[in-house]
Amino acid sequence: MLSDSLERLLAVAGPPLGATTSPPSRAPEALSPLLAARDGFLASFSALHVFPVEAPDDHPDLGSVHATLTSAYGPLLGEHRAFAQDLFGVLFTVHPDGVCTFDPETAEHEVIADGLDGWAEAVLAEPEALLGAAFAFDWQERHGALRAGERLVPLMPFALGGEYDDANLEPRGTLLALRERGVLARTLAGLPDGAEVEWPLPGTREETVA
């Protein structure tokens, strides 16, 4: 049975993104009740994207996101298992310490709730701070709806001083964005504090576009 906070979140969420009604064992146990009730969904003007167990086509799901993170971040990923993301691709993860945010540009994390119930309560209470909901509404009013699996990703990374504005943001597929931002996270992890980073780095968007 779902908690009140999860029920309230599902009440304002969109239809399932996958077709699984009994999440397989590869899904973290903490996520099973939520994903059994709804196998992935969008909410808060698509600012919140909860990954399904299995997605159609090449859309991101629990398995493809975890495989991409493992490859792109290596030891920086630690014990994090991503299950959702905000408008800008900041991940929500389950971790032994609780439910965390995981910054894809730096691999830094912050515990925001003890469990999934507390996480749902938090995103319902602070949809702009934790999801970017109002920004998502305004951006899509100007530019049209984000396509399945897309997030708003900065041309100049936020970690390097990039701004949260239209000139610095573009829709980017989740898995490609994670691979590129993983390059930045690994680079930053290997540098002393205060070291300068020249952008773009090899393996990031400007280097991979023909």
pTM of the entire structure?
0.94
pLDDT digits (tens, 9 = 90+) for 120-142: 999 999 999 999 999 999 999 99
Q: How far is CA 41 from the centre of its chain?
A: 13
3-state SS track over 165-205: CHHHEEEEEHHHHHHHHHHHHHHHHCCCCCCCCCCCCCCCH
Mean pLDDT of all residues in the chain? 93
Domain 4-148 has what CATH class? alpha beta
What's the confidence (pLDDT) of residue 58? 77
Given a cut of 50, is residue 29 above it in pLDDT? Answer: yes
Longest dimension (CA), the chain: 50
Domain coordinates in residue numbering, the chain: 4-148
- 207: confidence class by pLDDT, cuts 50, 70, 90: very low
Q: Rounded CA gap, 20 and 55, in Å?
A: 9
Neighbours of 39 (CB within 10 A): 25
What does the pLDDT average to over 168-195?
95
Neighbours of 132 (CB within 10 A): 23
Given a cut of 70, is residue 25 above it in pLDDT? Answer: no
In contact, 9 and 118? CB cutoff 8 Å: no
